[in-house]
Structure 1
Amino acid sequence: MKRVVVVTGLSGAGKTTAMGFLEDLGYFCVDNVPGIILEELLKLFLSSDLEKMAIAVDARSEHFSDPVEAIEKIKKRTNALIVFLEASKEEILRRYALTRRKHPLQRNDVGLEEAIEKERQILLPIKEIADFVIDTTKMTSHQLREILGQSLMNQSGGISVRILSFGFKHGIPMDADFIFDVRFLPNPHYVPELSQKTGLDREVEEYFKKYSLVDEFVNKIFETVNIAVKEYQRSGRRIVTVGVGCTGGRHRSVYIAHRIAEMLKKEGFSVVEKHRDLEKV
């Protein structure tokens, strides 16, 4: 089966890293493709022996054709996975300062900050139709590659659920579709013999089993996520990210996220379980 990935999003958000990763995976990569020639490119790809192609599309495409229309055509014809990369304005400014490169929309009368905001507005309609939105503000290149790998797991048309535990003190994951706050639950951090353990340890599991409130909340989260994921699946969405947060991201959020992941697996969903802040202090 032919596989197509469209990588789009803000300049400076990691498209070059993403395309390099896809090239390493054997994708035929084409960068900065104007929408006006995308249809011809697709025809060539579909009639060739190539199995995988990745296309990078950015705001410069608007000078040639409507990039949203072009991407919608690609998705309709090939069931392409649309990946949208973004980052905060401050982070993009920092990255441009380090690389000393020029923003593609920057002109003599358009400064860097203005160019970033202009690009964000141009690409907003594409973000709304993307299968996967990744905020790379606090990510390393390795982390971006890992998440991209997860996003490619179910390109055949099913849905993948990414369950992510985190600590609020380390920041909220901006790419999450749902955020559940479990900071109101009993905290094993204040039990001396449990403080250095994690939500994956048997002793912490036994601690939570003492509280019926924990089970009740786990079931409520599962019911909500299960309904939402099934609806997303019917509408063609292929990746859903669920964030579960406590204060530090080591006990409550890890335990709850793990339980939700196991429950979703029993429902037959493809699940990726990730504990972002497990090793942080």
Structure 2
Amino acid sequence: MTERIRTLVLTGMSGAGKTVAMQSLEDAGYFCIDNLPPILLPKFLDVVGQSGGRISKVALACDLRGGEWFEPLLEMVKQLRLNQSLELSIVYLDASDEVLVRRYKESRRRHPIAPSMTLLEGIAKERAALEQIRNAADVVLDTSHWRPNRLKQEIIQRFAEHQPRMPVHIVSFGFKYGIPIDADMILDVRFLPNPYYIDDLRPLTGEDERVFEYVMQWPATQEFIKRTEGLLQFLIPEFRKEGKSHLVIGIGCTGGKHRSVAISCYLAQSLQNLSDIQLIHRDSRREG
């Protein structure tokens, strides 16, 4: 039996968090389209059904920005629910009038469907127009008291097949070539004895066993690794919980060839069960 295509129709009040929700669904592996006119839903999903299983999860944001094209949404959903190949749900995002007004004030935006009205008049007009949709929704999420990260967590927990692992990039580098501009954390290992001053180790890198063993033999190295592992084992889950999408940890020595490479290799191996670890040696092959 062919697996049913999980289809989410995301709608609701402007300012209630549809952008964050769509970004979260995209991170969870959904094929996302924003502001699709409801009349095009059947044709689009027909195309998805012909993808040979390459697309199995779809999220479609539809709201009153579509004007008169939005009106057939409920009728389109009723028709689509007759399609046995689809598992379709309406997800409605809502928030209190007070919160919506505050969000508009903070973003300095006019109401998208009633730009000539006051914010409260525009919100009231939109709420009345969406009443039937809200009543028909399978899931209603009130984001009034949620920060964006809380909404992201809720979307992932409800609609992701599994909690995506946060990618962690461990980047070895040389301070002489500059700090990685995308690094979230920088760890400096220039306090360790430098293999550069050992003639037969100088041409090698921290990936070579002899250099690795040289760097790892020192009590200071072992103490640094112990403390760093403990710190990262605490921080990585906390960053993930806070909604961080990825983490870049820079580990630097003078030239980025020996000490930083060896330490990065060790940490990438020891932390691999904690997250999706990706190891990058930025400067290890530079000359000089």
Q: TM-score, length-normalised on structure 2?
A: 0.50
Offset, 1:42: 1.3
Q: Matches of 2:65 and 2:22 in 1, distance apart?
A: 17
Cα distance change on mapping 1:13 and 1:40 into 2, 3 Å: same
Match of 2:34 in 1: 31
Match of 2:159 in 1: 152
Gaps of 5+ in 2: 162-288
What are the equivalent positions in structure 2 for 1:195-210 lying under 5 Å apart? none
**SS of residue matched to 2:10:** strand
**SS of residue matched to 2:130:** helix
User: Residue 106 in 1 paired to residue 110 in 2?
Assistant: no
Match of 2:43 in 1: 40
Offset, 1:84: 0.6
User: Residue 137 in 1 paired to residue 140 in 2?
Assistant: no
User: Residue 73 in 1 paired to residue 76 in 2?
Assistant: no
User: Residue 11 in 1 paired to residue 11 in 2?
Assistant: no
**SS of residue matched to 1:80:** strand
Match of 2:132 in 1: 125
Offset, 1:10: 0.3
Match of 1:244 in 2: none
Q: Matches of 1:18 and 1:76 in 2, distance apart?
A: 26
CA RMSD of aligned residues (A): 1.8
Q: Matches of 1:151 and 1:75 in 2, distance apart?
A: 20
Higher-Rg member (1/2): 2
* 8 A Cα contact 2:17 2:93, kept in partner: yes
Cα distance change on mapping 1:12 and 1:142 into 2, 3 Å: same
Offset, 1:148: 1.8
Q: Matches of 2:158 and 2:79 in 1, distance apart?
A: 21
User: Residue 58 in 1 paired to residue 63 in 2?
Assistant: yes
What is the letter of the counterpart of residue 58 of structure 1?
Answer: D
What are the equivalent positions in structure 2 for 1:187-266 lying under 5 Å apart? none
Q: Matches of 2:82 and 2:101 in 1, distance apart?
A: 35
* 8 A Cα contact 2:10 2:60, kept in partner: yes
Task: Deviation per CA, 1:165-201: give whole Å up to 9, x if none.
Answer: xxxxxxxxxxxxxxxxxxxxxxxxxxxxxxxxxxxxx
Q: Matches of 1:76 and 1:11 in 2, distance apart?
A: 29
Q: Matches of 2:18 and 2:82 in 1, distance apart?
A: 23
Q: Matches of 1:126 and 1:148 in 2, distance apart?
A: 19
Gaps of 5+ in 1: 155-281
What are the equivalent positions in structure 2 for 1:172-187 lying under 5 Å apart? none
Offset, 1:115: 1.3
Identity %: 39
Offset, 1:153: 6.1
Match of 2:167 in 1: none
**SS of residue matched to 2:60:** strand
Task: Deviation per CA, 1:200-257: give whole Å up to 9, x if none.
Answer: xxxxxxxxxxxxxxxxxxxxxxxxxxxxxxxxxxxxxxxxxxxxxxxxxxxxxxxxxx
What is the letter of the counterpart of residue 132 of structure 1?
Answer: V
What is the letter of the counterpart of residue 17 of structure 1?
Answer: V
* 8 A Cα contact 1:4 1:79, kept in partner: yes
Match of 2:286 in 1: none
Offset, 1:62: 4.9
Q: Matches of 2:94 and 2:39 in 1, distance apart?
A: 24
Aligned length: 153
Cα distance change on mapping 1:18 and 1:74 into 2, 3 Å: farther
What is the letter of the counterpart of residue 131 of structure 1?
Answer: D
Task: Deviation per CA, 1:256-279: give whole Å up to 9, x if none.
Answer: xxxxxxxxxxxxxxxxxxxxxxxx
**SS of residue matched to 1:79:** strand
Offset, 1:72: 2.7
* 8 A Cα contact 2:28 2:156, kept in partner: no
Q: Matches of 2:78 and 2:18 in 1, distance apart?
A: 19
Offset, 1:128: 1.2
